[in-house]
Structure 1
Amino acid sequence: MQRVKRRLSAIMCADVAQYSKLMERDEDGTLDRLKAYRDVMSALTDRHNGRIVNTWGDAVIIEFVSVIEAVQCAVDIQNELSLRNADLPDLNRMDFRIGINLGDIMVEGDDIYGDGVNVAARLQELAPRGGIMLSQSVYDQVKAKVALGFDPLGPQKVKNVSDPVETYSVRLGGRNAPAETPGEKDVGGESGDAGHDAAGPASWDKDTRAVANGFEQARRWLRAQPRRVRTCVFMIGLFFVLNLLTSGLSTLWFVWPSLPFAVMLVWHFVVGRKGASFPDTPRHEE
């Protein structure tokens, strides 16, 4: 009898929130959307060196060697699916809940078992729609290594796990910056002018973080796109920069050389969303 192998892995569990209601409302549309969203998850999993272990119903289990890659993949998945959901009516939105745990697992063939997997599945059940829930072991590994914010939610009692599990919610689009402490806005408050001066830099810092978050989300969105989309965006940006350096904004000549690339982008997002796929987009067959 072959001995069961063990290893330490980061496990991601994901499923669709209110999947039964979506199926009841529109079976064919929901199934098509699930397959399309799984293709996105498969492509991002490959990009972050993960391995899809199982897909049954609306659930997905993915194994990663790196816990940092697991968290970054989960963030990329939620950001990309959020963009796709933005084009849909609220009743048709398909939001995934994701749980990630770092733990010892048992490996038999292509399947994995054990508390490491069970905890990830329970964390997924605790996650909000479109959210990501981490265990303490994951948080300890990534808290100082990724540009994300985290909200500690304390110990949670979960099914089939004897000890409560410390949980952390990922603040999507946030940063690892300390929250503002009470009274910070009142620094120098004895003088009206001093209070105004103190509020100014804080306001500027908040605006700077908002702009940085916007650039970060745009970067993650672009990374999740097929190579052809990234190339089109790059070329349009290149022509714009050249226009800016040579003519300023007095003459907008960059529009004409950018036009073919803009047409390709429109084709991808209008026609591609309806079933077309580019050859360089990895797909996962169930």
Structure 2
Amino acid sequence: MSETRKLAAILAADVVGYSRLAGVDEDRTLARLRALRSDLLDPAIAVHIGRVVKRTGDGTLVEFRSVVDAVRCAIEVQNAMLERNAGVPPDRRIEFRIGVHIGDIVEEGDGDLMGDGVNIAARLEGIAEPNGICLSGAAYEQVRDKLKVDFEDLGDKELKN
């Protein structure tokens, strides 16, 4: 299998408390997640020229050529989710955590992505607040002067591995 190294922006998203939601009503949770993917996530990813690399149950890994596009996509998704969750009881809300990083990655022959760039995005997603977006320092450096949004510095964080 051939592999290619490249620089890419990686967005990792995950549903907060998915196991709990599925435990309460698995069929409805799955149906809602499928609807969110087709109505919101996939169109937003397409508009911002992203490529879904893989889905893992309640998670999604997306590659972008531009970190600005990745962050714009994340903001669009999170803003739409706030609207969709208005009026939904807190224990029934589907909320995402999103991590965004730009870095060196390895693309496998089958299109799968591996390497530090992917791992860091996944770790950032894990420390993001519900409905939040956590950027790496490298991603922030690329977007801070290009996007008119407020950023909060979380300081240095120790990430697993």
State the TM-score, normalized to the length of structure 1. 0.55
* Larger RCO: 1 or 2 (CA < 8 Å, sep 6+): 2
Q: Distance in 2 between matches of 1:30 and 1:3?
A: 38
CA displacement, residues 126-145 of structure 1 (integer Å, 9 cap, x when unaligned): 00000000000000000011
Q: Distance in 1 between matches of 2:84 and 2:22?
A: 18
Secondary structure of 1:23's partner? helix
Overall identity of the aligned pairs, in %: 45
**Structure 1: stretches of 5+ with no match in the other structure:** 161-286
Greater share of strand: 2
State the TM-score, normalized to the length of structure 2. 0.96
The runs of 4+ residues in structure 1 deviating greater than 3 Å are none
CA RMSD of aligned residues (A): 0.9
Aligned to 1:79: 79
Aligned to 1:165: none
**Structure 2: stretches of 5+ with no match in the other structure:** none
Residue 75 of structure 1 deviates from its aligned partner by 0.1
Greater share of helix: 1
Q: Distance in 2 between matches of 1:147 and 1:75?
A: 11
Q: Distance in 2 between matches of 1:55 and 1:24?
A: 20
Q: Distance in 2 between matches of 1:97 and 1:26?
A: 21
Q: Distance in 2 between matches of 1:90 and 1:3?
A: 46
What is the number of equivalent residue pairs in this alignment?
A: 159
Question: Which structure: larger Rg?
Answer: 1
Residue 30 of structure 1 deviates from its aligned partner by 0.7
Q: Structure 1: which amino acid aligns with 2:128?
A: A
Q: Distance in 2 between matches of 1:45 and 1:114?
A: 22
The equivalences for 1:132-171 within 5 A come to 132-160=133-161
The equivalences for 1:14-93 within 5 A come to 14-39=13-38, 40-93=40-93
Q: Structure 2: which amino acid aligns with 1:127?
A: A
Q: Distance in 2 between matches of 1:123 and 1:45?
A: 19
Residue 3 of structure 1 deviates from its aligned partner by 3.7
Q: Distance in 2 between matches of 1:4 and 1:155?
A: 32
Secondary structure of 2:155's partner? strand
Q: Distance in 1 between matches of 2:53 and 2:3?
A: 17
Q: Structure 1: which amino acid aligns with 2:136?
A: S
CA displacement, residues 122-178 of structure 1 (integer Å, 9 cap, x when unaligned): 000000000000000000000011010111111111111xxxxxxxxxxxxxxxxxx
The equivalences for 1:116-265 within 5 A come to 116-160=117-161
